[in-house]
């Protein structure tokens, strides 16, 4: 089918965002975005109302009538230009599903299940292991008691390579089935069996007709092979099913949507996977810091590593984030002193009024300090679950910043600094910025029709924020010590050429504006220290073509890992200096 127009509705924990994509002058592209409160944490929650109001706003902003007088979405598009051909829906408003993982050993099947659970909106409430965890062996009765107390929405049992161990996995399955039968019929958890293929028939027989069992591909058919995709997919389905059953009003929005409701994290992974195919040797990173979730997706050649961190972010999740990270870790990112009482008052205000936004620069600084810790926490979890990602010295290309924490901002240097401080990319990379939050919608579009999404992607829907050049240093360097110099050659569209030399200095961020049009190359690197830009110490290609962007080229001479001064006063000066260097203080776009 040829789609003329599509609206996507992303129902988040605090905001519902509606995006309009349409064919304009023969090209399918992003047209407009609007948002409204999700209307979930009110006396009379109604998520349909949040969707309708977002569409009302979108109608006003885009000039296209989207709702009929009864408040129903007009679809398909009318000859008058009103309405849209299709509506797609993504979702992250529902709380994570409660999950119990059961497997043979923490190192193999359970490790795979943990990676699967981290990639979906789940909360792991229990882990049942045949092999002792921390030297302690669990009995079958303990498994059962744990399963009953956990009241899970989903139980995943894995273990045994295909043709391997059966008896202990069978015991796990039996216990999961027994516990499920104890729950009232409508409240029984889904049971996923993703273990030794030999036990599939037995699993089906154990579940009988009364238990919702799904038999999936073994997560570890061999020790060196892992398939977590089917488990993640089933977790997504359970999450959406629970959301549709528990969130008031969501079923009306669902009735407008074409195809399945997509968890927002899955939409993000579609985008990350697509981007990674464009840079197969580097991989792509998509980071989303929202109100109640942080999602980091690393894609490499189409394969994914993803962490969906719930009870985090800068909305309702800020309270949990603060409890986990604590005062010191937040306050270290601030250029000014703050009393713990004042920080806690900020946290509670934000948690109770998540739609509210910082008005002052001081409060913006605090909110971005929380964004840093939210991102750092999810990043640490990603590296713990996929340690191989931390072994590559070179940064992903590109790094896409999306979510409420990266919303439209007049001083985008402040946002770029959040990414540089926490992800600490090394070598050369590009920061892309999604100020209007269109990435989940693009992912939904990809699920509907990949060619449409590609068309939108070709119209460069994101804002290039900066090219980052971040060397690894062989040791501590003095502040302002010269690290290397490089020439920036720019050729304008009219053929005019300009050349200038920049100096990368220790402990500093250098921001060099690069015109948005024309071609820019970095040439003649002269290393003054054995810095590593991703090609080995003191090595660099003769020419590197870079793109411009809102900020231009950022040369991050602060070294990796980033070292914050231990003395609080010195650290505040350091933070202040970096904010100044990157243009996050005063002025603005």
Partner 1 sequence: MMEALRFYPEAVTFTPLATIRRERRLPIPGKVRVQRGDVVDAATVLAVAEQPAGVVIVDIARALKVSPQRAAAYLQRKPGASVRAHEILARRRIWLGLRTLRVRSPVDGEVVLAGGGKVLIQAGTRPLELRAGFPGKVVEVIPDYGAVIETTGALIQAFWSSGADFSGMIRIVTSGAEPLRARAIDPVAQGTIVVGGAWIEPSALEQAERLQVRGIIAGSMEASLLPMLRELSFPVVLTEGFGRLPMHPGIFRILSIYQGREAFVVQPFAGPDGRAGRPEILIPVPAENLPPPEPTGEPDLRPGVRVRLLREPYRGRTGTVSGISPYPWTLDSGLRSWCAEIQLDGEEGKTWVPVYNVEIIRP
Question: By the criterion CB under 8 A, which residues form the site for partner 1?
Answer: 36-37, 39-45, 49, 53, 56-57, 59-61, 63, 65, 94-95, 140-141, 144-145, 148, 174, 178, 181-182, 206, 246-247, 316, 340-342, 344-345, 347-349, 352-353, 355-364, 407-411, 414, 584, 588
Does a cis peptide bond (omega within 30 degrees of 0) precede residue 561? Answer: yes
CB of 520 to partner 1, least distance (A): 27
Distance of CA 361 to the CA centre of its chain: 26
CB of 44 to partner 1, least distance (A): 7
Of 311 and 397, the one with the shorter C-beta distance to partner 1 is 311
Of 273 and 293, the one with the shorter C-beta distance to partner 1 is 293
Of 50 and 549, the one with the shorter C-beta distance to partner 1 is 50
Q: Which helix (H) or strand (E) holds 402?
A: strand 399-402
Does a cis peptide bond (omega within 30 degrees of 0) precede residue 398? Answer: yes
289 DSSP assignment: E
Of 9 and 453, the one with the shorter C-beta distance to partner 1 is 9
How far apart are alpha carbons 331 and 444 in whole angstroms? 37
> Under 8 Å CB-to-CB from 270, ≥6 apart: which residues?
442, 443, 446, 447, 453
User: What are the strands, taking DSSP E only, across 301-391?
Assistant: 303-310
Cβ pair 521, 546 in contact under 8 A: yes
3-state secondary structure of 44: coil
Of 53 and 332, the one with the shorter C-beta distance to partner 1 is 53
CB of 168 to partner 1, least distance (A): 15
CB of 175 to partner 1, least distance (A): 8
399's tokens: 């790094």
Q: Is 172 exposed, middle or buried (0-12, 13-18, 19+ CB in 10 A)?
A: buried
Q: Which helix (H) or strand (E) holds 9?
A: strand 5-11
Of 66 and 232, the one with the shorter C-beta distance to partner 1 is 66
* Integer angstrom CA distances of residue 289 from 152, 198, 318, 437, 557: 27, 42, 11, 11, 26
410's tokens: 């007049």
How far apart are alpha carbons 278 and 466 in whole angstroms? 18
CB of 184 to partner 1, least distance (A): 8
CB of 413 to partner 1, least distance (A): 9
CB of 454 to partner 1, least distance (A): 30
Of 148 and 389, the one with the shorter C-beta distance to partner 1 is 148
Closest by Cα among 435, 309, 433 to 374: 309
CB of 565 to partner 1, least distance (A): 25
CB of 244 to partner 1, least distance (A): 12
Q: Where are the alpha helices (DSSP H) in 63-199?
A: 109-118, 140-150, 167-182
CB of 263 to partner 1, least distance (A): 15
323's tokens: 């409890």
Dihedral of alpha carbons 360, 362, 366, 371, sign: positive
Of 259 and 340, the one with the shorter C-beta distance to partner 1 is 340
Of 216 and 414, the one with the shorter C-beta distance to partner 1 is 414
Of 245 and 479, the one with the shorter C-beta distance to partner 1 is 245
How many degrees, rounded to 5, is the angle at CA 30 between CA 315 and CA 1?
A: 120
């Amino acid at each position: 089918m040829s789609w003329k127009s599509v609206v996507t509705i992303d129902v988040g924990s605090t905001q519902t965002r509606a995006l309009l994509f349409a064919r304009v002058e023969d090209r399918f592209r992003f047209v407009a975005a609007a948002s409204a409160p999700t209307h979930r944490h009110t006396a009379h929650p109604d998520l349909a109302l949040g969707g309708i109001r977002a569409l009302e706003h979108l109608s006003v902003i885009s000039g296209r009538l989207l709702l009929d007088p009864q408040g129903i979405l007009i679809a398909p598009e009318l000859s008058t230009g009103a309405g849209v051909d299709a509506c797609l829906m993504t979702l992250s408003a529902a709380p994570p599903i409660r999950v119990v993982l059961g497997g043979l050993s923490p190192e193999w099947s359970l490790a795979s299940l943990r990676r699967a659970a981290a990639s979906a909106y789940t909360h792991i409430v229990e882990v049942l292991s045949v092999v002792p965890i921390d030297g302690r062996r669990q009995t079958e009765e303990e498994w059962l008691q744990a399963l009953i107390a956990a009241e899970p929405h989903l139980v995943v049992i894995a273990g045994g390579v295909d043709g391997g161990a059966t008896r202990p996995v069978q015991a796990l399955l039996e216990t999961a089935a027994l516990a499920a039968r104890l729950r009232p019929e409508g409240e029984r958890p889904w049971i996923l069996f993703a273990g030794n293929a030999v036990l599939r028939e037995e699993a089906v027989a154990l579940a009988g007709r009364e238990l919702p069992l799904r038999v999936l591909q073994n997560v570890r058919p061999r020790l060196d092979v892992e398939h977590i995709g089917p488990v993640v997919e089933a977790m997504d389905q359970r999450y959406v099913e629970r959301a549709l059953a528990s969130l008031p009003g969501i079923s009306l929005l669902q009735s407008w949507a074409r195809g399945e409701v997509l968890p927002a994290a899955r939409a993000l992974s579609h985008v990350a996977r697509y981007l990674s195919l464009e840079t197969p040797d580097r991989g792509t990173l998509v980071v989303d810091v929202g109100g109640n979730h942080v999602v980091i997706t690393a894609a490499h050649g189409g394969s994914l590593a993803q962490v969906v961190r719930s009870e985090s972010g800068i909305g309702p999740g800020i309270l949990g984030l603060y409890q986990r990270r604590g005062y010191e870790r937040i306050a270290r990112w601030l250029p000014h002193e703050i009393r713990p009482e004042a920080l806690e008052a900020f946290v509670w205000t934000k948690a109770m009024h998540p739609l509210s936004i910082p008005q002052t620069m001081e409060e913006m600084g605090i909110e971005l300090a929380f964004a840093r810790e939210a991102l750092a926490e999810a990043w640490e979890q990603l590296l713990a679950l996929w340690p191989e990602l931390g072994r590559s010295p070179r940064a992903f290309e590109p790094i896409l910043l999306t979510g409420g924490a990266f919303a439209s901002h007049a001083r985008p240097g402040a946002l770029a600094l959040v990414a540089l401080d926490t992800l600490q990319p090394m070598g050369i990379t590009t920061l892309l910025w999604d100020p209007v939050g269109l990435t989940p919608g693009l992912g939904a579009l990809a699920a509907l029709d990949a060619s449409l999404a590609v068309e939108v992607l070709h119209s460069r829907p994101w804002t290039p924020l900066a090219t980052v050049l971040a060397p690894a240093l062989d040791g501590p360097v003095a502040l302002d010590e010269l690290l290397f110099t490089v020439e920036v050659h720019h050729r304008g569209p009219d053929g005019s050429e300009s050349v200038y030399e920049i100096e990368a200095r220790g402990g500093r961020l250098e921001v060099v504006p690069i015109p948005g049009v024309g071609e820019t190359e970095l040439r003649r690197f002269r290393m003054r220290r054995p810095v590593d830009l991703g090609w080995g110490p003191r090595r660099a290609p003769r020419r590197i073509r870079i793109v411009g962007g809102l900020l231009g080229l950022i040369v991050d001479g602060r070294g990796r890992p980033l070292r914050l001064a231990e003395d609080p006063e010195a650290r505040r000066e350091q933070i202040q200096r970096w904010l100044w260097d990157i243009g996050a203080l005063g002025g603005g776009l």
